[in-house]
Amino acid sequence: MAEDEQAPAPPGPIGDPTGHGAWPAIAESRADAPGFTIYRPARLPDRPLPLVLWGNGGCRDAGLSAAHFLREVASHGYIVIANGAPRGEQPVDPGLPEPEAAETSEPQSPPPPPPMGPDETSTAQMLAGIDWAMAANTRAGDSLEGHVDTDRVAVMGHSCGGLQALQAGADPRVDAVVALASGVYVQTGPARSGVNIAKADLARLHTPVAYILGGPSDIAYPNGMDDFQRIEHVPVMAASLDVGHGGTFNRPAGGEWALVGTAWLDWQLKQDAAAAQFFTGPDCRLCVLPEWTIRRKNFPENP
CATH number, domain of 132, equals 3.40.50.1820
**E strand intervals along 122-185:** 148-158, 176-180
Q: pLDDT tens for residues 1-36?
A: 344 467 888 889 999 999 999 999 999 999 999 999
What's the pLDDT at 110?
A: 44
Domain residues for the domain of 70 are 3-91+116-297
Contact by Cβ (8 Å): 217, 100: yes
In a domain, 186, yes or no: yes
Min mean pLDDT across 68-82, 162-176, 178-192 is at: 178-192
Residue 275 lies in a domain: yes
Structural domain total, the chain? 1
Q: What is the pLDDT of residue 191?
A: 57
Residue with more model confidence, 102 or 56: 56
Let me know if residue 96 belongs to a domain.
Answer: no
Alpha carbon separation from 47 to 78, 129, 144, 147 (Å, rounded): 11, 20, 11, 6
Asked whether residue 106 is domain-assigned, the answer is: no
List all residues 6 or more positions away from 253 whose beta carbon is below 8 Å from its beta carbon. Answer: 18, 19, 20, 68, 71, 72
The interaxial angle of helices 67-75 and 255-270, nearest 10 deg, is: 40
Predicted confidence band of residue 303 (pLDDT cuts 50, 70, 90): low
Sign of CA pseudo-dihedral 229, 231, 233, 239: negative
* Position 229 in a domain: yes
In the chain, what is the straight-line distance between the N-terminal and C-terminal CA atoms, in Å? Answer: 48
The answer to whether position 98 is within a domain reads no
Binning pLDDT at 50, 70 and 90, where does residue 169 land? very high
CB < 8 Å & 24+ apart, contacts of 266-274: 266/76, 267/303, 268/154, 268/175, 268/176, 268/207, 268/208, 269/50, 269/152, 269/153, 269/154, 269/175, 269/176, 270/50, 270/77, 270/152, 273/303
The structure's pTM equals 0.90
- As beta bridge partners, residue 178 has 156, 210
pLDDT at position 300: 79
Does residue 160 form part of some domain?
yes
pLDDT classification of 103: cutoffs 50, 70, 90: very low
| Average pLDDT, rounded, for the chain | 90
Cα atoms in the Cβ-side hemisphere of radius 13 Å centred on 147: 21
Residue 105 lies in a domain: no
Mean pLDDT for the stretch of residues 116-122? 82
Q: For the ranges 51-55, 70-74, 191-195, which has the lowest average pLDDT?
A: 191-195
